[in-house]
């Protein structure tokens, strides 16, 4: 039993969790012909929250027909809670030496948990800028591109769609630029 608990608390190897992530696509199709994609929930939330006078046509869709996805997002929050309470990993991520060195050069030390202090310490003004700019770009970009990492990189690539390959390549191009050039501006 302590052995099982330790296995659940340790990070799961990519060759175990990767295929399980991939199985989400056929599982949702089998459960009700639903195409896996999380960013649509941001659109649904805009449809629900915005008053009619401020609502662009993009948000005048029938979000009730997509209510399964809102339940999926609620499940994600519960899953995060379960993982953080019952399966919390006391160790810091076992990054490669090169990554530890690169982050160290930016003044970031690798601590236990999923986010560094640079993203959670709200007494630093840089933290607010980082979180807000990141959210704005992700929200705008995902709707412009018609999907996020789940809708394009997982579902779209799994169903061999060329637009999703272009979107995924662009996600990575933007991420590489941002992590290497933009991020240091907020950390220094």
Partner 1 sequence: MMISTTPSATSSSAPASTAHLLLRQWPFLITGLLFGVLLIKSEAASWYRIQEMFRFQSIHMYGLMGSAVLTGVITTTLLRRTGRRALNGDAIHVPAKTGPTSRYVLGGLIFGLGWGLAGVCPGPIFALLGSSLLPMLIVLAAALVGTWAFGAVQKLL
Subset of residues 149 to 178 that bind partner 1, contact rule: CB under 8 A: 149-150, 152-161, 163-164, 166-178
In the stretch 107-126, what mask flags binding to partner 1 with x, by CB under 8 A? ---x---xxx--xx-x----
How many Cβ atoms sit within 10 Å of the Cβ of residue 95? Answer: 12
Least spacing, CB of residue 83 vs partner 1, in Å: 4
Number of residues that bind partner 1 (CB under 8 A): 127
Decide: is 1 part of the binding site for partner 1 (CB under 8 A).
Answer: no
Applying CB under 8 A, does 4 fall inside the site for partner 1? Answer: no
Rank residues 1 and 122 by Cβ distance to partner 1 and give the closer one: 122
Contact 43, 143 (CB under 8 A): yes
Residue ranges in the chain assigned as alpha helix (H): 2-9, 14-22, 24-32, 40-49, 67-85, 97-105, 117-120, 125-145, 157-158, 162-177, 183-187
The three-state DSSP-derived secondary structure of 46-57 is HHHHCCHHHCCH
- Tell me if residue 60 falls in helix, strand or coil: coil
Spell out the residues 6+ positions from residue 93 whose beta carbon is closer than 8 angstroms to its own.
11, 110, 114
Sketch the per residue contact string, 65 through 94, with partner 1: x for CB under 8 A, - otherwise. Answer: x-xxxxxxxxxxxxxxxxxx--x----xx-
Closest contact distance (angstroms) between CB of 135 and partner 1 is 3
Of 5 and 169, which CB lies nearer to partner 1 in the complex structure?
Answer: 169
Tell which one of 5, 91, 95, 107 touches partner 1 (CB under 8 A).
95
140 forms part of the interface with partner 1 (CB under 8 A): yes
Q: Does 5 participate in binding partner 1 (rule CB under 8 A)?
A: no
Q: Of 4, 132, 148, whose CA–CA distance to 76 is shortest?
A: 148
């Amino acid at each position: 039993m302590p052995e099982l608990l330790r296995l659940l608390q340790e990070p799961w190897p990519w060759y175990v969790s990767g295929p399980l992530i991939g199985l989400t696509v056929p599982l949702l199709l089998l459960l009700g012909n639903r195409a896996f994609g999380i960013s649509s929930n941001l659109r649904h939330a805009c449809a629900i929250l915005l008053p009619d006078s401020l609502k662009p046509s993009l948000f005048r869709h029938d979000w009730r027909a997509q209510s399964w996805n809102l339940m999926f997002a609620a499940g994600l929050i519960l899953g995060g809670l379960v993982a953080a309470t019952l399966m919390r990993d006391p160790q810091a991520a076992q990054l490669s030496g090169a990554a530890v060195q690169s982050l160290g050069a930016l003044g970031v030390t690798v601590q236990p948990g999923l986010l560094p202090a640079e993203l959670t310490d709200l007494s630093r003004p840089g933290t607010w800028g980082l979180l807000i700019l990141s959210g704005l770009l992700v929200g705008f970009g995902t709707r412009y591109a018609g999907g996020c990492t789940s809708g394009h990189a997982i579902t779209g690539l799994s169903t061999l769609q060329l637009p999703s390959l272009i979107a995924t390549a662009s996600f990575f191009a933007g991420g590489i630029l941002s992590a290497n050039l933009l991020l240091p501006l907020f950390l220094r």
